[in-house]
Amino acid sequence: MTRRALVTGGSGALGTAICERLARDGCEVIVHANRNVEGARAVVERIAAAGGRASAVAFDVSDAEATRSALEGLLEAGEIQVLVNNAGIHDDAPFPGMTREQWTRVVDVSLHGFFNVTQPLAMPMARTRWGRIVSLSSVAVRVGNRGQANYVAAKAGIEAASRTLARELGSRGVTVNCVAPGIVDTGMADGVFDKESIQRLVPLQRAGTAAEVAAVVSFLASDAASYITGQVVPVDGGL
């Protein structure tokens, strides 16, 4: 049976790796983007060229009504049984100098976006008695990171909400987990961590890859992970 998987933020480097991995796993992948629609279409084309099935969709996860409308349209075409909440943004500043706009923008996309996408899909997923919800968090939730109080607060909220949602949906065969990457070579860490810093901070002495994160998402989205729920899985090289 082919399962449909929605990956928010699917046009970015990490999202692309997740989409391509899920497609190789046999899922029909819905690649989400907000502004980078062309990027999402390019991912769809790569998946199709490799023999997979995919489509692109565009909406702003921070806009509740636009998100609900888009999801209703997707559900009309069939069940969505795998959801990967990957959409998120950075807008860094030291907390004493952080503006309300910076705080709100990051929380709106990462945390409110988690609610806006997950809530409309939870009951339809539960009705099928099988589902996987995997959300991207960050190692920064555990260790902190200068200038990212807004980002870390949003990701911590996702982790806490996921633990509760795991308890609510477990009896319906739906698992809910988080993946917490550390320093990953996706371009977002450029100019932040040099090679020497990575070797000092990370026991494995290198940055991770998007493919390594996608492999863990793939596992949590599979039948093999049917007895894992309410967990946060670090992918951080021991950081």
Look at residue 201 in the predicted model and tell me its pLDDT.
Answer: 87
- The residues assigned a catalytic role are 151
Tens-place pLDDT, residues 65-89? 999 999 999 999 999 999 999 999 9
Indicate the number of domains in the chain: 1
Contact between 85 and 136 under an 8 Å Cβ cutoff? The reply is yes
Residue 92 located in a structural domain: yes
Residue 194 located in a structural domain: no
Look at residue 136 in the predicted model and tell me its pLDDT.
Answer: 98
If phi over 0 gives left and psi between -120 and 50 gives alpha, with beta otherwise, what is residue 208?
Answer: beta
Residue 203 located in a structural domain: no
**Residue 68: C-alpha distances to residues 22, 75, 83 (Å):** 24, 10, 15
CATH number at residue 104: 3.40.50.720
Look at residue 191 in the predicted model and tell me its pLDDT.
Answer: 52
Residue 53 located in a structural domain: yes
Look at residue 195 in the predicted model and tell me its pLDDT.
Answer: 84
pTM assigned to the model: 0.95
What's the longest Cα–Cα distance across the chain? 52
Residue 52 located in a structural domain: yes
Residue 127 located in a structural domain: yes
Residue 200 located in a structural domain: no
Q: Which residues of the chain have a pLDDT value below 50?
A: none
Q: Which domain holds residue 21?
A: 4-182+210-234
Contact between 184 and 209 under an 8 Å Cβ cutoff? The reply is yes
Look at residue 210 in the predicted model and tell me its pLDDT.
Answer: 97
Look at residue 187 in the predicted model and tell me its pLDDT.
Answer: 65
Tens-place pLDDT, residues 89-110? 999 999 999 999 999 999 999 9
Look at residue 163 in the predicted model and tell me its pLDDT.
Answer: 98
Contact between 221 and 134 under an 8 Å Cβ cutoff? The reply is yes
Look at residue 198 in the predicted model and tell me its pLDDT.
Answer: 87
Residue 223 located in a structural domain: yes
